[in-house]
Structure 1
Amino acid sequence: MTSMQSWKGVNFIHEFLEAFPVPTFIEQDARAGALAQTLFDHSVSSPNLAYYLVGEGVGLGVIEDGKLVNGTKGGATELGHLSIDVDGKPCECGNQGCLERYCSAVAIHEAMCQPPYARAFPEAEALNHAAACQLLFYRASQGEDLAAQLVERIASYVGYGCVNIVNAFNPSRIIIGDIVAGAGQPLLDTVLDIVKQRALPELKDGTQITLSHLPADATLMGAAAVAVSHFLDEPTRFAQLYRQRQGTNPGSR
């Protein structure tokens, strides 16, 4: 959690187990979002897909042959901290030029409050990140030049992320979701154009790129699915834990 450095040493599972009498699971938001796409969007049938989360942060969840790609420490597919400019903007993770610094909702809000865009959005400073993005996308849809220019610039960076996804993971489908997907078809058109120009020809032709049909907070649905899947995968283990708890707390239900 690069934006919350003081939480780096917190063992979340331990803290939640201390606070609540239920099993606790931790999952990265984009991977939870990928799971949500496969479970709750009936148009998704591919066993090999990438969920590209572009919200307050930028993340990626990859499902390969029906299984989430996690990595050794659960940190796989950290697309947001892939550097697209080695001399670019400093990132809280310690790197420079991270993708997240150019197309996340936070980066968009920051750009709206700086020249040359600030004069078009004098109200932006008083908004939260999501509301600022919604304002930008609305103004762009109404044909305002500066708004449309900024959306195209953002979409280009989202497209560079898609190029890296295509080349690195070769999924059959990339689904773009969360706050920035609210830019809609203009964003998708620019992304498709960037991928057409830059991705490996042998790979891009077999990759479908779409916007998510689920709401921006679909990761919450995915998080619930993560917990449910643990119970379904190991029902005996959790039945034993339940019986143990009943034994130590006979009055609990």
Structure 2
Amino acid sequence: MYRIGIDIGGTNMRVGIFDDGGNLVVKEKILTNAQEGATVAIKRLKLLINEVLNSKEVDKTQKIKGIGVGSPGPLDPWKGEIQSPPNLPGWDNIPLRQNLQDKYNLPVFLHNDANAAALGEFLYAYNKEVKNLVYITVSTGIGGGIISDGKLMLGDKGSAGEVGHIIIRPDGNMCSCGNRGCLEAQASGTGIFTRTQEALKNYDRPTILKNFDLLSSKEIIEAANLGDSFAKHIIEEVQMDLALGIVNIAHAYNPQKIVFGGGVMQSGDTFIQPVIERAREMILPSMAENLDFSVTKLGGDLGLFGAAALVDYFQD
């Protein structure tokens, strides 16, 4: 049987089909164009689903087990509604699950994209062998998903795992959630940019960052790697804040494995290794002893794998 995985993002919507062996048979993507509104975007998503289903790689005799959808939150997985994500403006209380069920007459499972990613790692990357796993995405924001004793932790509203909103510095940067010093505000791609932009206002010594008209976390990390003292100071502060967040996560959930994903992770070992080393120094020895850190094995397709994993997890 096949299962359909749908990864909805602020920039792209992606659709993939997976077989029983967890192999990605075919995938396609289109721009989300969220500003056009949910109704228009969902119509285009259905056209993309149909295109993938009709592709030559798909065996038309195979049945479809279900559809899994990973989406930015907030959302309600029980109602199957997307509820006003910041990067999907105008997507207010959209009953996406019912919409897709009515169209395709298949079971549909809608969950936060980070929770779905954690399931993708659990089912496809580690074949259920790692029973206690935390997935952390460090990108524009910071999110997470938690597998505890082989089960996805959801919480009362399906919002468990919001690790980006652990407060680590009460006097820190203002977060989009309204609090100060959240891990996301301190150590996400956006946080790196904001910290750098503010610090540059009062920095009167040479730094290669002053030569950039447009800055991003990638350029700032690269400048630090090149030895720019200003950029190194910023990144070292970010690494410490991320390490503090990881320590809190490790102490709260006692995982066997912490898996990293997201755009900032593309900066490589020079960024994440110091974070891991600092975190290990602060985690209780009994918890740190068997704790393993890694970057996702599923690469850029993790969102699709995670969405497909929803089908197997919630139907088996």
Judge same fold: TM > 0.5, yes or no: yes
CA distance in 2, matches of 1:167, 1:195: 11
Letter paired with 2:139: G
1:10 paired to 2:93: yes
Unaligned runs of 5+ in 2: 1-73, 75-84
CA distance in 2, matches of 1:7, 1:205: 46
1:121 paired to 2:121: no
1:77 paired to 2:191: no
* CA deviations over 1:200-251 (Å, ceiling 9, x no partner): 2221222112233332552232123213544x43xxxxxxxxxxxxxxxxxx
CA distance in 2, matches of 1:19, 1:58: 33
1:56 paired to 2:144: no
1:211 paired to 2:299: no
* CA deviations over 1:97-149 (Å, ceiling 9, x no partner): 2111011111122234333389533576646xxxx233233333333333333
1:146 paired to 2:230: yes
TM-score, normalization: structure 2? 0.62
- TM-superposed CA distance for 1:28, in Å, is 1.3
Which shows bigger deviation, 45-54 or 203-212? Answer: 203-212
CA distance in 1, matches of 2:271, 2:246: 12
1:28 paired to 2:112: yes
Structure 2 CA distance for partners of 1:6 and 1:42, relative to 1, 3 Å? closer
1:96 paired to 2:180: yes
Letter paired with 1:81: H
3-state DSSP of counterpart to 2:144: strand
Which shows bigger deviation, 169-178 or 205-214? Answer: 205-214
Preserved CA contact (<8 Å) 1:109 1:124: no
- Residue in 2 that maps onto 1:157: 241
- Residue in 2 that maps onto 1:202: 286
CA distance in 2, matches of 1:123, 1:24: 49
* CA deviations over 1:149-172 (Å, ceiling 9, x no partner): 333222212111110111100011
- TM-superposed CA distance for 1:85, in Å, is 2.0
Structure 2 CA distance for partners of 1:4 and 1:10, relative to 1, 3 Å? farther
CA distance in 2, matches of 1:59, 1:73: 16
CA distance in 2, matches of 1:73, 1:52: 20
Unaligned runs of 5+ in 1: 234-253
Identity of aligned residues (%): 30
More helix by share: 1
Preserved CA contact (<8 Å) 2:122 2:147: no
Letter paired with 1:60: G
CA distance in 2, matches of 1:25, 1:43: 21
3-state DSSP of counterpart to 1:47: coil
Q: Which of 277, 281, 304 does residue 220 from structure 1 map onto?
A: 304
Q: Which of 189, 195, 208 does residue 111 from structure 1 map onto?
A: 195
CA distance in 2, matches of 1:27, 1:125: 38
CA distance in 1, matches of 2:102, 2:226: 49
Preserved CA contact (<8 Å) 2:164 2:184: yes
Structure 2 CA distance for partners of 1:209 and 1:226, relative to 1, 3 Å? same
Preserved CA contact (<8 Å) 1:59 1:77: yes
Letter paired with 2:240: S
Structure 2 CA distance for partners of 1:120 and 1:214, relative to 1, 3 Å? farther
CA distance in 1, matches of 2:304, 2:210: 33
Structure 2 CA distance for partners of 1:215 and 1:83, relative to 1, 3 Å? same
CA distance in 2, matches of 1:216, 1:143: 29
Structure 2 CA distance for partners of 1:125 and 1:49, relative to 1, 3 Å? farther
- TM-superposed CA distance for 1:90, in Å, is 2.5
- TM-superposed CA distance for 1:18, in Å, is 8.4
CA distance in 1, matches of 2:135, 2:232: 25
Preserved CA contact (<8 Å) 1:151 1:183: no
Letter paired with 2:271: L
Structure 2 CA distance for partners of 1:4 and 1:214, relative to 1, 3 Å? closer
Aligned length: 228
Which shows bigger deviation, 188-197 or 168-177? Answer: 188-197
| Superposition RMSD in Å | 3.0
Letter paired with 1:222: G
